[in-house]
């Protein structure tokens, strides 16, 4: 069982930055691939970024590539999402998720989810 708690969301002006964190309560954090997803009002939840167990392999949605950076610190059981050059269209609830085994960008592959943190970008 994996429990995930996101933090770091908030209100920011367009062009600004935020850093999201996801604390994992699990015995072996390095045994899980991790991902960030987001859901805007009236839209389906979508992939943002993913990272493999070691942090050595990452993938990003085209909409955030070059602006967002996913990373993890296994010694602290923590996942991060550094978000720069934020745009109003980045406004959403951001969720971290964990999955057993191999790295994936597919939302359906993730077994464990946090409760989400709101990010609002004003124009």
pLDDT per residue over 60-111, tens digit each?
Answer: 999 999 999 999 999 999 999 999 999 999 999 999 999 998 889 999 999 9
d(CA 117, CA 97): 12
In the beta sheet, which residues pair with residue 38? 46, 94
Encode pLDDT of 8-39 as tens digits: 999 999 999 999 999 999 999 999 999 999 99
**How many Å separate Cα 52 from the centre of its chain?**
13
pLDDT classification of 119: cutoffs 50, 70, 90: very high
**Residue (of 74, 72, 47) closest to 61 by Cα position:** 47
pLDDT score, position 103 = 86
d(CA 14, CA 27): 38
């Amino acid at each position: 069982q994996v429990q995930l708690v996101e933090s770091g969301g908030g209100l920011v002006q367009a062009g600004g930055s935020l850093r999201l964190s996801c604390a994992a309560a699990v015995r072996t954090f390095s045994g899980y691939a991790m991902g960030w997803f987001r859901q805007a009002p009236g839209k389906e939840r979508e992939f943002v970024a993913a990272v493999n167990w070691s942090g050595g392999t990452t993938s990003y949605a085209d909409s955030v590539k070059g602006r967002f950076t996913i990373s993890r610190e296994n010694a602290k059981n923590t996942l991060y999402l550094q978000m720069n050059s934020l745009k109003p269209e980045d406004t959403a609830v951001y969720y971290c998720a964990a999955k057993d085994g191999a790295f994936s960008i597919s939302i359906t592959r993730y077994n464990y989810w946090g409760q989400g943190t709101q990010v609002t970008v004003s124009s």
